[in-house]
Amino acid sequence: MASPARLHKQREEARIASERAAERQETLQGSEHELALAQLAQHKRQLQGIQSLEARQAKKAELMQEWHGYIDGVLAADTGIPDPIISQMLPWLFDVGDIDRALTVGDYLLRHDLPAPEQFTRDLPSLYTEMAAESALNCPGSLNAEQLAEVLDATTGHDMVDEIRAKLYRALGEALHDEGNLEDAVTHLRRAVELNPKVGCKPLLAQLEKELTAQMPQAQENNAHT
């Protein structure tokens, strides 16, 4: 794990390099950035050499500790300079379950219209939407309804295939259900099924619709006595 002093140095180098490139309206360059790119390439090679998915994820979580300073520096500068390193951090952060940082990086990349990592054929909005949704669906509770709603709001104006957006509506609907918001959960689950009938939430939707219908007479009765 990188020391606090090293992370601080890394943060300041990344911030200064990003700000300098923005001031000069040029691409990122310099020895510090070249070293960071070389480190990223080395980390990719290390991960590619591990066949076990479980072991690879454990190694990725270990390696990600060395990138916190860089990520924080780029986010602090907030220049939007294209940088393959910060783009690569998005899927890696989701992979290791560092959700808060993943969402912050995703928002940064989206706001500045930056590209997805080069190994992905999807554009950044689609990648961000799908990774947030799949993280929530594969690990319930990892993202709350508020976080998923923010991803939905941020990506609503971007074009993407319906199947990806349906996953996000499903994830948000399930999160709302878990938090006890039955009516909004039904609304979002219905939208998910509209976008993709095979999204996988029809049984839950049918169950919640029955519960909602059962609650309506009770609510009407309560209103009548008020």
Q: How far apart are alpha carbons 138 and 67 in whole angstroms?
A: 25
Residues 21 and 82 in one domain: yes
Q: How far apart are alpha carbons 102 and 82 in whole angstroms?
A: 17
Report the mean per-residue pLDDT for the chain. 92
What confidence tier does 218 reach under pLDDT thresholds 50, 70, 90?
low
Range with the lowest mean pLDDT among 23-32, 91-100, 124-133, 137-146?
23-32
Residues 142 and 214 in one domain: yes
What confidence tier does 222 reach under pLDDT thresholds 50, 70, 90?
low
Which domain covers residue 164, as residue numbers? 122-226
Q: Which of 78, 104, 120 is the last residue of a domain?
A: 120
Residues 78 and 12 in one domain: yes
Q: How far apart are alpha carbons 160 and 156 in whole angstroms?
A: 9
What confidence tier does 225 reach under pLDDT thresholds 50, 70, 90?
low
Does the global pTM surpass 0.75? yes
Q: Can you tell me the mean pLDDT for 107-114?
A: 96
Residues 10 and 109 in one domain: yes
Using alpha carbons, select from 104, 146, 151 the residue that is nearest to residue 130: 151
Q: Can you tell me the mean pLDDT for 166-193?
A: 97
CATH code for the domain of 220: 1.25.40
Residues 93 and 48 in one domain: yes
Residues 3 and 111 in one domain: yes
Q: Is the pLDDT score of 22 beyond 60? A: yes
Residues 66 and 88 in one domain: yes
Residues 66 and 101 in one domain: yes
Residues 51 and 105 in one domain: yes
**CA dist 47 to 136, 148, 182, 198, Å?**
24, 29, 42, 33
pLDDT at 1: 63
Q: Is the pLDDT score of 104 beyond 80? A: yes
pLDDT at 223: 54
Query: How many distinct structural domains can be found in the chain?
Result: 2
Q: Which of 68, 88, 120 is the last residue of a domain?
A: 120
Q: Can you tell me the mean pLDDT for 65-75?
A: 95
